[in-house]
Amino acid sequence: MTRSRKREIANARTSDKPRSPTRARTTAKPRPVDPRRRVSKKVNAEPQPVASGVTQKLQKVLAQTGIGSRRKMEELIEQGLIKVNGEVATLGMRVSSTDRVEFGRRRVDVTGSSATRVLLYHKPEGEIVSRDDPKERQNVFTNLPRPKNAKWIAIGRLDFNTSGLLIFTTSGELANRMMHPSFDTEREYSARIFGELTSDQMNLLLSGVELSDGHGQFEVCEPIGGEGRNRWYRVIVKEGRNRLVRRMFESLGYQVSRLIRIRFGGIVLPPRLTRGKWLEFKASEVTQLEEQCGLVPQDPTPQPVVKPAPRSSRDTRKTKSRPD
């Protein structure tokens, strides 16, 4: 048998052997990647302008412009103070971006292109939360940037001698939701009083005391330090009545010498936010806040804690700083 013949027989035997599993796996074609995995869900999208011909309820549109809450807008409509295309508006009327809406002599922008804005402000003592003050004292609005086609609405007030967290928004509906009593929004304060509470007195404040305008109580009341006769307490209330915390302590004969609001609902006063300065929420944080208040459909995925964007009043406006 010639050498060439032997070589042909050997090659034929080799070709008849099955391929090993290892070789089959290495030569197999890779599985295609599911294209759905490459699609990222778009979140925090900016609100789109209301398209021409798309209508919404008049009171809802007015509330979104920052004039006031939806309930307040319904009252203005019933009083005949709102006009649409020159005619007195009626409750339940629907408007689109092409309609001319007027409140008194002011034309209201109802295009829907203005996104809701939210600011955190560290109010110092000596400022009033009002634009109209007979005494002409400094107000909190002088330190805030001017929104376009809207106005700032304070979510909860602080009295003249109280400092701490203030939240502002251009959405009347959002402000109304956050302040409405049905939400039981917690307000947390650090209070310094002259004197020291006994355990019986703290229990009394937790169970409630009678004030001139009804029953008042603390959800939490606990000591957090102090020196000498000046003692600090952490207190939480679920109401926004005028001077409630001060009057609660005064009912037991204690004078509050300093009061600082450090939390409103789920929003905490950022430590880096000094007095007289503000921080603005990003669009994603505003959307999350609206979801928490039930203004947009809830996302089934868990949401992180709301934190303000690293944009401060130092970037756009120089305000007079006060020592902490």
Instruction: State pLDDT tens for residues 210-233.
Output: 999 999 999 999 999 998 899 999
Strand partners for 88: 83
Residues 193, 176: one domain?
A: no
pTM above 0.75, yes or no: no
Report the CATH number at residue 200.
Answer: 3.30.2350.10
**What is the reported pLDDT for 12?**
54
Would you give the DSSP letter of residue 295? S
**What is the reported pLDDT for 312?**
57
Residue 188 has pLDDT above 90, yes or no: yes
Confidence category of residue 57, pLDDT binned at 50, 70, 90: confident
- Tell me, yes or no, whether 31 lies in a domain: no
Residues 102, 133: one domain?
A: no
Confidence category of residue 47, pLDDT binned at 50, 70, 90: very low
- Tell me, yes or no, whether 4 lies in a domain: no
CA geometry: angle 151, 274, 280, nearest 5 deg:
35
Residues 209, 80: one domain?
A: no
% of the chain beyond a pLDDT of 70: 73
Which residues form the catalytic set?
Answer: 159
Report the CATH number at residue 84.
Answer: 3.10.290.10
- Tell me, yes or no, whether 319 lies in a domain: no
154 vs 61, more confident: 154
**Helix axis angle, 70-78 to 172-179, nearest 10°:** 120
Predicted confidence (pLDDT) per residue in 122-166, tens digit = 999 999 999 888 888 999 999 999 887 778 999 989 999 999 999
Domain of 169?
118-182+267-292
Give the list of residues 6+ apart from residue 57 with CB closer than 8 angstroms, or none: 92, 93, 94
CA geometry: angle 276, 280, 285, nearest 5 deg:
145
Residues 221, 99: one domain?
A: no
Quick one: which of 83, 80, 57, 79 has its CA closest to 70? Answer: 57
Report the CATH number at residue 152.
Answer: 3.30.70.580
Residue 282 has pLDDT above 90, yes or no: yes
Single-letter code of the amino acid located at 139: N
- Alpha carbon distances (Å) from 65 to 14, 60, 286, 300: 82, 9, 15, 29
Quick one: which of 248, 224, 222 has its CA closest to 235? Answer: 222
Residues 259, 272: one domain?
A: no
Q: How many domains does the chain have?
A: 3
Residues 213, 67: one domain?
A: no
Do β-strands 256-264 and 163-169 pair in parallel, antiparallel, or remain unpaired?
Answer: parallel
Confidence category of residue 3, pLDDT binned at 50, 70, 90: low
Residues 209, 87: one domain?
A: no
| Lowest-confidence pick of 40-44, 88-92, 151-155 | 40-44
Residues 65, 95: one domain?
A: yes
Mean pLDDT of the chain: 79
- Tell me, yes or no, whether 15 lies in a domain: no
Single-letter code of the amino acid located at 117: R
- The structure tokens listed for 53 are 């011909």
Residue 256 near residue 192 (C-beta atoms within 8 A): yes
Residue 97 has pLDDT above 90, yes or no: no
**What is the reported pLDDT for 321?**
44
